[in-house]
Chain A
């Protein structure tokens, strides 16, 4: 069967020339071999191990979260297995003071930036403590409105620039999100203000059931950067070193005053869209799943590290056990969170309560004290 594009469109030279500017950037192939030595990032052995540790940890966390969700011990959850390199490789290039504006799937990034697992679980359950970000941890709550984080990131980045903080703002959306108006507005604003923002589009090929081909006739999402007049790059999102290197470069570009960067990571989610009843077998073939499982970011990075004698089964098992233990502790802590009261919710609305809420506060205080 021919693709939609092939059937209806003859490619113009201009279009081909544009597309050729956005070849996939890769450092490690599926066998864990370095295919682009020149682009190899300067990471110490310990840093390489830490990257692997985080990816394994996240894979286990994802498995446990799915299981806890099925037991009814977690609420809203968007699986991340397959996207570890894209999420954690990009996060690893950040500094502590950088700002993260995550989408709803981007919990691993904010957890490794300083949000606790317990809070991540409370956010999943729908508890206000899940949004109370710890002091000094510059992250926003996961954004549910797809695209809103992009325009807000432009604002945060401009703020950071104006305050001379030498930091950047990074934000994430998916392939479907790149069709939103706020996506274009956000990258365009950041470009017009030369703001130090990094826009990461994690292209996992599906927005719920809609394949990326139905989002746009554009061959890459990275080329959408052209519309904003900013730098764009397409990266193998299953290659943690390539994602890291691309993000680091984007960060430096932002700090130099050369404006924002759009990074498209080609990745895949092995699980469903969310745990709220989505069934990927309705829209995905097992062939496609198999093809992407061969690209598993953990497999290739494990091979790479093993060849350098930086990783062993024992080390991996240690991470697995640590993750399981942390999750057990975190979910227990989350269970101990106080039950939410209406008076709590009223209290978070304004700095000073207006008259209607003052009245309602009294009303609910009386109810709650019964």
Chain B
């Protein structure tokens, strides 16, 4: 097994799939010769040719329309939105068009599109690059939303996303692209969409999270362990639909939970997780389910990220609050 960064695992997943199925096309702004602004598509045009991996004009909405049209003619598009803050330009194509294609045609047509896009704070990007907008997508019937936190998960989930016959929004946290390496098997393997992963077992409290907050939660769990609190960390991996069974199994064991997200408290999907737990496991709860999230302001100016983004300290604090409720 190779040691890879998350971005290498993502490139590897696309290479595996481009090789497997000639109907897979990869396109977006600067994904061709340039290999992508983060090198996610590095070497792919050279290997598979300009007909398979190509640049587009600078227009997100047009890219979405291109993906829908190519999908209707038998291709399997992987389209890139350079930064997910630019999704507003292509919101109609994703949320009002490809998400509804199967339904509005009564099953006659579908949109086998994977939308790859980087997001996430902590790397001091300029405005509207890092915003966590997954909540908007999670509220859209017809799309699935996947957010990996490790190189291993990224590859297996991206291969599954590409093979899915319905649109999948695949969000890649910029801070996780190169921050560490992990074991990634060679060749193809898949991870089922809609399945969470217990990243750390524990018996005292469930920390349910996704994206970069998985790592902050794991760090928080280490801190809590020093004080004798064993936290179970659940990485949702797919945030729409969420894996209710895994969440319930954990909460019914620990009887306590917090939900951790990088998005503002009024955004993201934490409220949905809390609602599901409350509806399905209230009798198991020793305390209310609390949330760790960012303040309800616009994403911070770059030099204010440190004071704004949730981190492991907030997670430790909130976990203790639930424990001591």
Contact = CB atoms under 8 A, between A and B. Distances in A.
Interface in B49-63: 51, 56-57, 59, 61-62
A181 B89 CA distance: 10
Query: Could you say which interface size class chain A belongs to?
Result: 35 or more
B141 A129 contact: no
A111 interface: no
B173 interface: no
Contacts of B72: 99, 140, 152, 155-156, 159
B76 to A, nearest CB: 11
B92 A159 contact: no
A349 B141 contact: yes
Contact of B104 (A131, A182, A185): A131
A154 B65 CA distance: 7
A154 B107 contact: no
B32 interface: no
Contacts of B51: 162
A152 B104 CA distance: 15
Q: How extensive is the interface on chain B, given as a class?
A: 35 or more
A28 interface: no
Interface in B89-104: 92-93, 96-97, 102-104
B57 to A, nearest CB: 5
Contact of A188 (B57, B92, B107): B57
A168 to B, nearest CB: 12
Contacts, number: 133
A150 B103 CA distance: 21
B62 A162 contact: no
Nearest to B67: A155
Nearest to A171: B69
A74 interface: no
Interface in A119-162: 128-129, 131-133, 140-141, 145, 148, 150-160, 162
B106 interface: yes
Contacts of B74: 159, 163
Given A182-B61, A351-B166, A163 B241 contact: no
A158 B66 contact: yes
B62 A189 contact: yes
Interface in A80-120: 99
B69 A159 contact: yes
Interface in B104-134: 104-110
A354 interface: yes
B284 interface: no
B64 interface: yes
Given A133-B105, A192-B57, A355-B244, 7 more contacts: A133-B109, A155-B68, A156-B72, A159-B75, A160-B73, A189-B66, A349-B142
Interface of A: 99, 128-129, 131-133, 140-141, 145, 148, 150-160, 162-163, 165, 169, 181-182, 185-186, 188-189, 192, 345, 347-351, 354-357
12 contacts: A131-B106, A132-B105, A133-B109, A140-B105, A141-B105, A148-B92, A151-B61, A158-B69, A158-B70, A185-B57, A186-B65, A354-B241
Interface of B: 51, 56-57, 59, 61-62, 64-75, 92-93, 96-97, 102-110, 141-142, 144, 164-166, 194, 241, 243-245
